[in-house]
Structure 1
Amino acid sequence: MPLSEDEQRILQQIEQQFYATDPDLAGEIGNHSLYAHCLRRMRWAAALFVVGVIVLVVALATAINFTVSFGGFVVMLGAALWFERSLRKMGRAGMAQLSASLRTGGLRDYFGDTGDRVRNRLRPQDDDAEGDNSDDRS
């Protein structure tokens, strides 16, 4: 049932007041989708699955113990179930929104600047060290 003109006008006034009183929160809410929580859980499940695979392969390759390799398999299974459950919670609408945002924004926009942050952390800080040494020599 669509809203009446008065209800639409009242809703627009509330929205304008919200943007006027707290523009930071309004912008933050506008930038996030409803499915961000499910996507975050799916990423954690995928990472946990990879950890389970690594534990399984290393335990079998080095013949550490059969129970350790079985534990890796159990971790993989649990992560796969967690991923599947999060995917079901997201539903078709979430998957459609995710695929549309990936098509328009690309993977770099989806993952953000995570790669740049990791590269900056791993990059040696030689510039600061050289600057300090040159001052001592003068």
Structure 2
Amino acid sequence: MALNEEEQRILQEIERSFYESDPAFADRVRSETVYRHAGRNLKWAIAAFVVGLAFTILTFTTSVILGAVGFLVMLGAAYAFERNVRRIGRASLSDMARSGRGPFGSIGRRFNRPDDSQ
């Protein structure tokens, strides 16, 4: 749905005031992507999983409860990893759908194109 001229003007004013009020934050938001954010979270999830695994191995023989805590850390890290992989996949699918590439190729563009015959 396209914006009318008044809505576009208001949106441009909001953008301009946003960039003027906090240029450092605006640059950070402009450079941040779903891929970069999710990729960073993937790295943290892998690190947490490795730490949890090491903690489980080192403490399980002395205390089953500490070993269970390490296992819960591993479980949480695996969950965070899975959620971020899905986020990257969902973003990739939406990018492909917008560009017309994807599993159905140009068929998707044909069906999403507005009908000029009406």
Normalized against structure 1, the TM-score is what?
0.46
Match of 2:11 in 1: 11
**Is residue 2:73 matched to residue 1:75?**
yes
1:27 and 1:79 mapped to 2: Cα distance? 30
Q: CA deviation at 1:90?
A: 5.7
The alignment yields a C-alpha RMSD, in angstroms, of 3.6
Match of 1:85 among 79, 83, 86: 83
Are the structure 2 counterparts of residues 94 and 50 from structure 1 closer, same or farther at C-alpha, using a change threshold of 3 Å? farther
Alignment of 1:1-138 (within 5 A): 1-33=1-33, 38-59=38-59, 63-88=61-86, 92-93=90-91
Q: CA deviation at 1:5?
A: 3.0
Richer in helix (by share): 1
Structure 2: gaps (5+ residues): 96-118
**What does the per-residue CA deviation read over 1:110-130, in whole Å, with 9 as the maximum and x for residues that have no partner?**
xxxxxxxxxxxxxxxxxxxxx
Are the structure 2 counterparts of residues 44 and 69 from structure 1 closer, same or farther at C-alpha, using a change threshold of 3 Å? same
Q: Which has the higher contact order (CA 8 A, sep 6+)?
A: 2
2:6 and 2:69 mapped to 1: Cα distance? 61
Larger Rg: 1
1:21 and 1:74 mapped to 2: Cα distance? 43
CA contact (8 A) 2:46 2:77 kept: yes
1:17 and 1:70 mapped to 2: Cα distance? 51
CA contact (8 A) 2:34 2:91 kept: no
Structure 1: gaps (5+ residues): 98-138
Which amino acid counterpart does residue 30 of structure 1 have in structure 2?
Answer: R
Match of 2:115 in 1: none
Q: Name the count of aligned residue pairs.
A: 95
Q: CA deviation at 1:92?
A: 0.9
